[in-house]
Amino acid sequence: MRAGFGVWSVKSGEWSVLFLIKSFAEQSINNSTLHTPHSTLQTPKEGYVMDYQEYLDKYGLEAKEPTYMEMLAVAVSREIEDGAFAFVGTGLPLLAAGLAQQTHAKNMTVILEAGTVGPRIEHLPLSVADPRAAYQASTLSSLVDAFGTIAARGYCTVGVLGAAECDMYGNLNSTSMGNYWPKGVSEDGKGPATRFTGSGGANSIASLADKTIAMMVHEKRRFPQRVQYLTTVAGMRGEPGENRFDYGLFRGGNLVVISDLCKMRPDPVSGILYVTEIFPGISPERITDATGWEIDLSRAVLDQGPLPEELEILRMKVDPSRLYLGRKKKG
């Protein structure tokens, strides 16, 4: 019998084997540059290996100077502990999880909302259902199992999320800017200025995870005093009497918001985010100017920044084609 994914053809009375998913996964694994030492990178030209210095020259990078995306990825990866059960979204969160898995958190369990549990991130998937996300996974199940069997039973220790907005209490908006309702049914006859992808699994993850990591680019429009739409209660939600526990969210509240400028955590009394660490080369004034509320920097310390070894692994093994690392800030 030939191996593959098959469906029964009633007309022919035979098995029609679908090799698309299988061959795509095999091709992704075989073409992966990640089986080479992290100081070298296989290029499309057969037999040629690019070393790290050539990589730096090609992309105009410095060995000890991170880009803003690299700063984000390293800072988030350090917040993922070894042995964590981490619900991770695709894109930037998976980039950070891949680095953590390649460095200090080799025993972490990556969980994707489509139902993949425990994969090795050898080639960055483009979605939670990408076959590349299944490499060496312990379980390939369903969304129901991911959230019902795993998260709802208390096995989500860390959730890594992104969003369009984050307010002073750590509430996230990934739904819309402006009105929520479409123009035809809204009270003022105006629809949303921008419609985003929506919650996906973000609300469930932040409601059930012991710790939530939110990663965002630090711009004033992204850090308002209040989000325009509350998609996800990642932090304390509001002041005492209006916080997450008052609204029945009995888990979570341990939030760290990581931008390309700094790290922020909720004050244990007020629930308002304050700066805990400032990244190298960033002035306090820059953070203040890019934040929509009067943020507290009095308790902040200077972060050491990415180590050269972390940058090399991130560049050569996690995202060698710079699919996500190559993104640039707008404006």
- Name the residue among 112, 66, 107 with its Cα closest to residue 93: 112
Catalytically active residues are 113
Phi then psi dihedrals of residue 40, to 5 deg:
-130, 160
- Name the residue among 226, 277, 254, 261 with its Cα closest to residue 66: 261
Contact by Cβ (8 Å): 289, 2: no
Burial of 173 (0-12, 13-18, 19+ CB in 10 A): buried
* CA triple 309-94-220, angle to 5 deg: 90
Tell me the residue ranges of DSSP E strands in the chain: 5-9, 14-18, 40-42, 49-51, 85-88, 109-111, 116-117, 139-140, 158-161, 165-166, 171-173, 176-178, 192-195, 211-215, 232-233, 254-258, 262-266, 273-278, 301-302
**Residue 35: DSSP 8-state:** G
Who contacts 276 (Cβ-Cβ below 8 Å, separation ≥6)? 256, 262, 263, 264, 265, 299, 300, 301
